[in-house]
Amino acid sequence: MAAGAVVYVFAGQLADVDRGVYEDLAMRVAQHPSETDAYMMTRVLAYCLEYDEGIVFSEGVSSTDEPAVLVRDRTGRLTVWCEVGAPDAARLHHGSKLADRTTIYTHRDPAKMLALWVGKRIHQSEHISLHSFDPGFINAAVAALERRNAITVSVTERTLYLDLNGVALSSAVHEYPLS
């Protein structure tokens, strides 16, 4: 854990009807001092939306060799490279060579994010997707954030229903191809 990191605890349930994933959640999330609340909240939601056996948070913004969230199979092979925010093209290129699947979740304007990667060399960019949420959704979730959080995440027909500490929010999960 990074020095000066703030630890947030999330406990609750995940019901992703679209993928048939139903799990109890118990997450300790260390927020790096340079990490915004919006980035951290997006990281938590990316974890939920990509949840699979072998999923972990990396060292986050302090790690240069790993994405924010990753999934390894039982042999240790990297299956999902999940970036958060606005990763550069070189990072996406690197990650897409290492993992079976690369994806990005952002709390920023998706059009601006996509513009960052136009014309850049990114390995298998046609298989990489950018995911975003409705405007204001992440900020509303951040407003409900506490150090200890009760969380329920439900996903059906690519709509995310979030209950965070008694505050009910919803958003479409928008998906954009990189190329």
Question: Is residue 127's pLDDT more than 70?
Answer: yes
* pLDDT tens readout for residues 2-36: 568 899 999 999 999 999 999 999 999 999 998 99
The CATH architecture assigned to 33-144 reads Roll (3.10)
**Tens digits of residue pLDDT in 142-152:** 999 999 999 99
What residues have CB less than 8 Å from 163, skipping those under 6 apart?
A: 12, 150, 151, 152, 169
Q: What is the mean pLDDT of the chain?
A: 94
Burial (CB count within 10 angstroms: exposed 0-12, middle 13-18, buried 19+), residue 33: exposed
SS3 of residue 177 by DSSP: strand
Check pLDDT > 60 for residue 62.
no
Residue 60's pLDDT band (cuts 50, 70, 90): low
**Model's pTM, two decimal places?**
0.94
pLDDT > 90? residue 44: yes
How high is the pLDDT of residue 61?
59
HEC letters along 133-157: ECCCHHHHHHHCCCCEEEEEEEEEC
Rounded percentage of the chain residues whose pLDDT exceeds 70: 96
